[in-house]
A and B are shown apart, each in its own frame.
Chain A
Amino acid sequence: GDSVTQMEGPVTLSEEAFLTINCTYTATGYPSLFWYVQYPGEGLQLLLKATKADDKGSNKGFEATYRKETTSFHLEKGSVQVSDSAVYFCALEDYGGSQGNLIFGKGTKLSVKP
């Protein structure tokens, strides 16, 4: 079945450091890919998405490119801030394999130190 694998955390960075959180997926169809962010004690917020190969999603300085050849959707940010501290989830939506339901990775906790 469909699945998402993302790098295990926690990830601890200093402010202004470069961030990469790896995400790879397996899917039977042509999925849409998402990154969600969860701040402490809250629900999930959509950070960015890409619906087809080679699309780049971007928001708040974060970017991710849908790479079909490597089945990847890595999240990057050039300069992180303390306020970026949160848990980040990679997810896919695949009408071919999972009836359009979201399949999540296990999440990566990011801590940014001043």
Chain B
Amino acid sequence: GQQVMQIPQYQHVQEGEDFTTYCNSSTTLSNIQWYKQRPGGHPVFLIQLVKSGEVKKQKRLTFQFGEAKKNSSLHITATQTTDVGTYFCARYNNNDMRFGAGTRLTVKP
């Protein structure tokens, strides 16, 4: 199945700075999910986007689904040390579930 490309692979920010990770696909997606994995932990579901152009917010996190449903982004405003971890996008299409490689976020206090 088609993979989802996720960039950047790593991001190091100063606490209080913003952070964005992007997920891109060459094919149209039926939906996209975002997960967070803390160091030493397991992936935890954050949100699912289904509609073209959809934007959802969870406190300081903003999730977007592209108009063409081929890309998505996760933006964190004013990062905190609790945001540390790896953020994965995941797509389900035609009985095929695939995770992106993830973006590892580190935050310097």
A and B co-occur in one complex: no
Residues of A whose CB lies within 8 Å of any CB of B are none
